[in-house]
Amino acid sequence: MTATLRNVAIIAHVDHGKTTLIDVLLRSSGSFRTGQQVAERAMDSNDLERERGITILAKVTSLVWNDARINIVDTPGHADFGGEVERILNMVDGAILLVDAAEGPMPQTKFVLSKALAIGLKPIVVINKIDKPDARPDFVLDAVFDLFAALDATEEQLDFPVMYGSAKQGWMSDSPDGSQESIGPLLDKVLEHVPAPEVEEGPFRLLATTLDADPFLGRILTGRVRSGTVKPGQSVKALSREGDVVESFRISKVLAFRGLERQPVDSGEAGDIVSLAGMTEATVSNTICDPSITEPMFAQPIDPPTLSMTFRINDGPLAGTEGDKVQSRVIRDRLMREAEGNVALRVTDSDDKDAYEVAGRGELQLGILIENMRREGFELTIGKPRVVFRTGPDGERLEPIEEVIVDVDDEHTGAVIEKLASRKGEMLEMRPSGGGRTRLRFNVPTRGLIGYQPELLSDTRGTAIMNRVFHAYEPHRGDIVGRRTGVLLSIGQGDAVAFALFNLQDRGSMIVSPGDKVYTGMIVGEHTRGNDLEVNVLKGKQLTNMRASGKDEAIALVPPMRLSLERALSYISDDELVEVTPKSIRLRKAILDPNDRKKAERSKASAA
């Protein structure tokens, strides 16, 4: 069985074509029947994955090529979802490293490749998008080799096979100008270069790698069978990383991957990737094994969270009007369920009984969680993102530093360097990247990158591309100046009126439109000065029977600032919150009552 089985992961930087390549592999291997309607990027099944064009959850598919079964794992390319990548690599025996023929290796390429090399995988390098007009395959191949060397690859790993092609056009070849007929040569290379899975002796053992839920089967754990076989009805137990028994249970279903579907099978053989159902408490990184086993399998340690946010109940005046899940108990259950399946996430109770601290890899990962929750009907208020500090061996304060690569037009390099320097960034490299563009490489504190993305797009007229990945914990780099402007606060509750908004436009930019619901303490705009200002956005024009001598002025409103969820989270200050409901995203002060707010400010000032 194992001689005709291969387990391989596709790893790459975000948007380098992993999911598109899997589409083509499935079509070419005959996994879809003739005429079957299959969505583009079929592996991106989550709504948010389709909307944003990124892979968030690692997924497994399977195909048959030349009488051999190949299990393929599609991994996320964004470093915020690196916890998925680290676990997945333990299930496979080889990897396909996909690199864009124009962009070359990027920060996340370095991140996922370092994890693959560390556990001894020997990747096949595929230079994709060779059909791009600015493709430079020779330069990219040299850059990939340099990256392997920089990551301390072994002699065997440095002797990697190389394929060229275009996943979108459906072909791969051994050379840039080779045959453009099919994707088959890549599958042949997988069978030739990726070893068959090693089978260990002894009874059944499996390391749980991913967790998901099925409305009919309940909890489902996926992993690779290391030894023995597993069948429905078999009695097993789950061991934690420390060796404690989590639970004993009977397996209700064994599922294997066949194309895009997960189908019940009579047994799971050693070396194969299968999903098991029947457990109630077992989770990711547990060892599912025969009752006679006492030692757990080694689970790869996960890089720690670097960013945290406070998730609170919505206690504003409009609470419960747009969502149906508002209780702290329901919010806590949902967060704990998320943390079970996502090992890169950490949820802890805070001093406030209605608030929870959620720590993760970055703004995008936490933003995806909030977006999923609001779509499920939750109402929340979220505090300002904060980095997770550490204490060094000598007692010094350490903070997370990220490696940032910015590709920008030559004319805008000065603005980018100036802004990142003011955010305590250290420039490491500046070199031309072709086509009148420059590639800048920095080490920047995570604190300095919160909210920088929209500013970068504004400074570069939308032409810059920024990629970032966690680098290391380093000594604290000092204070970084945050938002320099104050906000406009509503002094009453009701619906915003166009006449009032028109008369307040010279005070600052608005973030509400006429007819939007507002309440006391809610942020309705950005003040032009550094202090907060309370304004009345409910004041309508006085209607009398007195005739005006001239015509009334036409009300022409400047379009309001529309804040996305990520932009809103990075915009707020320490004393502000983002109110998230299924229909709205609002900004507000943590303390809504102006008198209570002044008392809190006075007590804070006296304490300081």
Co-location of 223 and 272 in the same domain: yes
**pLDDT at residue 22 greater than cutoff 90:** no
On whether both 120 and 165 belong to a single domain, the answer is yes
The first and second tokens of residue 312, run together, are: 């609170």
Lowest mean pLDDT across 210-219, 446-455, 458-467, 491-500: 210-219
Least reliable range by pLDDT among 57-61, 298-302, 488-492? 57-61
> Model confidence over 320-346: pLDDT tens digits?
898 888 898 999 999 988 887 676 788
Segment 19-46 shows an average pLDDT of 54
Q: What per-residue confidence (pLDDT) applies to 303?
A: 63
Please give the pLDDT value at position 548: 56
Task: Kindly report the number of other CB atoms within 10 A of residue 58's CB atom.
Answer: 22
The DSSP line for 25-90 is HHHHTT-S-TT----SSTT--SHHHHHHT---S-EEEEEEETTEEEEEEE---SGGGHHHHHHHGG
> How would residue 547 be classed by pLDDT, with cut points 50, 70 and 90?
low
**What residues contact residue 472 under an 8 Å CB cut-off, 6+ apart?**
400, 401
Task: Give the largest Cα separation in the chain, rounded.
Answer: 97
On whether both 600 and 494 belong to a single domain, the answer is: yes
In a shared domain, residues 53 and 125: yes
Q: What is the DSSP letter of 282?
A: -
Per the listing, tokens 């290379």 go with 189
Q: How far apart are CA 411 and CA 382, in angstroms?
A: 38
In a domain, residue 481? The reply is no
294 occurs within a structural domain: no
Tell me whether residue 543 is exposed, middle or buried, using C-beta atoms within 10 angstroms of its C-beta: 0 to 12, 13 to 18, 19 or more: exposed
Q: What is the pLDDT of residues 226-269, one digit of tens each?
A: 888 888 988 988 888 888 888 888 989 888 887 767 788 888 88
pLDDT-derived band at 536 (thresholds 50, 70, 90) equals: very high
State in Å, rounded, how far the first CA of the chain is from the last one.
Answer: 70
Whether residue 494 sits in one domain with residue 588? yes
pTM, 2 dp: 0.71
Query: What is the C-alpha separation between 472 and 108, in angstroms, rounded?
Result: 14
- Binding site, residues? 15-20, 128-131
User: What pLDDT, on the 0 to 100 scale, is given for residue 50?
Assistant: 42
Residues 169 and 226 in one domain: no
Distance CA 156, CA 60 (A): 27
Average pLDDT over the chain, rounded to an integer: 82
pLDDT band of residue 588 (cuts 50, 70, 90) is very high
pLDDT at position 48: 44
Best CA proximity match to 380, nearest among 344, 353, 356, 361: 356
Integer CA distances (angstroms), 510 to 277, 491, 528, in order? 52, 15, 11
Among 38-42, 218-222, 393-397, the minimum mean pLDDT is found in 38-42
Listed in sequence order, the residues at least 6 apart from 34 whose beta carbon sits closer than 8 Å to its beta carbon are none
**Are 491 and 574 contained in the same domain?**
yes
pLDDT of res. 581: 93
pLDDT of residue 443: 92
Predicted confidence at residue 427, as pLDDT, reads: 92
The reply to whether 408 and 445 lie within a common domain is: yes
Query: Is the confidence at residue 509, as pLDDT, over 50?
Result: yes
The annotation places the binding site for GTP at 15-20, 128-131
Whichever domain contains 235, its CATH number is 2.40.30.10
Confidence at residue 4, expressed as pLDDT on a 0 to 100 scale: 82
Q: Which of 241, 266, 289 is the last residue of a domain?
A: 289
Q: Centre a 10 Å sphere on the Cβ of residue 419 and count the other Cβ atoms it contains.
A: 15
Question: Are both 496 and 574 inside the same structural domain?
Answer: yes
Nearest CA to 174 out of 166, 165, 182 is that of 165
520: left (phi over 0), alpha (psi -120 to 50) or beta: beta
**Which has more confidence, 61 or 416?**
416
Which residues are CB-neighbours of 298 under 8 A, at least 6 positions away?
A: none
Residue 26 is assigned to a structural domain of this protein: yes
Same domain, 70 and 132: yes
Taking 70 as the threshold, does the pLDDT of residue 40 lie above it?
A: no
Q: Cα–Cα distance between 150 and 143 in angstroms, integer?
A: 10
Dihedral angle over CA of 187, 192, 197, 198, nearest 10:
180
Q: What is the pLDDT of residue 14?
A: 62
In this structure, the chain runs to a length of 608
pLDDT of residue 83: 54
Domain span at 113: 2-193
Q: 535 and 468 in one domain? A: no
Question: Is residue 549's pLDDT more than 60?
Answer: no
**Where does a domain end: 150, 171, 193?**
193
Cβ atoms of residues 255 and 263 within 8 Å: yes
Domain presence at residue 378 = no
Q: What is the pLDDT of residue 578?
A: 93
Helix boundaries (H) for 306-433: 328-341, 363-375, 413-422
Q: Give yes or no for residue 15 having a pLDDT over 70.
A: no
Structure tokens at 149: 């060397």
Measured in degrees and rounded to the nearest 5, phi and psi for residue 353 equal -65, -15
CATH of the domain at 499: 2.40.50.250
Angle, CA of 538, 543 and 544, to the nearest 5°: 150
Give the model confidence (pLDDT) of 436-481 as tens digits.
888 899 999 988 888 787 788 888 888 887 877 778 889 998 888 7
- 69-78, 157-166, 473-482, 581-590: which has the minimum mean pLDDT? 69-78
Q: Is the pLDDT of residue 550 over 70?
A: no
Give 284's Cβ-side CA count (13 Å radius): 24
382 in a structural domain: no
Short-list 291, 121, 118, 279, CA closest to 205: 291
Please state, in angstroms and rounded to a whole number, the distance separating the CA atoms of residues 594 and 237.
57
**What CATH code is carried by the domain that includes residue 429?**
3.30.70.240
26/47 same-domain check: yes
pLDDT for 224 beyond 70? yes
52 — pLDDT class (breaks 50, 70, 90): very low
> Is the Cβ–Cβ distance between 9 and 194 less than 8 Å?
no
Helix (H, G, I), strand (E, B) or coil at 606: helix
Q: What's the domain count of the chain?
A: 4
Neighbours of 14 (CB within 10 A): 21
Residue 413: phi and psi, rounded to 5, are -60, -40
Provide CB contacts within 8 A for 576, sequence distance 6+: 384, 487, 523, 587, 588, 589, 590
501 contacts 510 by C-beta, under 8 angstroms: yes
Q: Is residue 571 part of a domain?
A: yes
Last residue of a domain, one of 435, 454, 475: 475
Do the domain assignments include residue 499?
yes
CA separation, residue 369 to residues 306, 436, 467, 574, 580 (Å): 16, 38, 21, 21, 12
CB contact set of 251 (below 8 Å; sequence gap of 6+):
230, 231, 232, 233, 234, 235, 236, 276, 277, 278
- Residue range 552-570, pLDDT digits in tens: 566 778 888 888 887 888 8
Residues 6+ apart with CB under 8 A from 226: 199, 200, 205, 206, 207, 270, 297
Q: Is residue 298 part of a domain?
A: no
DSSP 210-221: EEEEETTTEEEE
